[in-house]
Amino acid sequence: MTYNITPTSSISCISPTPQYPTTITNIDSNPLANTQAQTLCKSLGGLPSTGMKFITSLAGSNDLDLSSYDIVWLAALVGDTQEDKENILQNVVGKMRKGSLLVMRGAWGLRSVLYYDFDVTTPAVTQYLDICVRMDPFGDVLDSGRGA
């Protein structure tokens, strides 16, 4: 299975069994974040060092091919407004293959102070996606930077 996910969340997604190998491509617009995550994975050895690759790019960028991924994750910080997020979503979904899944992290509750929350019910979203589920961590704050 292949995933596209942000660097700080990806280590926990690697499959420990060789019969179900997992490849994770970490895509981040910040080259320093990628360098630090790559250094961490190399220092851990094993699957984190072999099952990961790192690309510095913007989500939805023209040079980004997402057609080989089963799952694409978008971080909550992608896009500053509803319109920005919808435009990025349109670009990303247009590069994905039919049948793959898109997971978008949101900003419910206290996280909305840090990130703009995303309304998945707008016509601009529903014309590109069939929303399967929206989950909010009622009472808990999930922080991928700390391995929640």
Count how many residues are written for the chain: 148
Residue 92 lies in a domain: yes
Cα(27)–Cα(5) distance, integer angstroms: 7
Q: Which is higher by pLDDT, 43 or 135?
A: 43
Residue 71 lies in a domain: yes
Give the pTM: 0.71
Q: The domain that contains 50 carries what CATH number?
A: 3.40.50.150
How many domains in the chain? Answer: 1
Domain that holds residue 17: 2-135
Ordered DSSP codes for 9-27: HHGGG--S-TTS--EEEEE
Residue 30 lies in a domain: yes
Cβ-Cβ contacts under 8 Å for 140 (sequence gap 6 or more): none
- What is the per-residue pLDDT for 27? 82
How would residue 123 be classed by pLDDT, with cut points 50, 70 and 90? Answer: very high
Ordered DSSP codes for 69-89: -SEEEE-TTS-SSHHHHHHHH
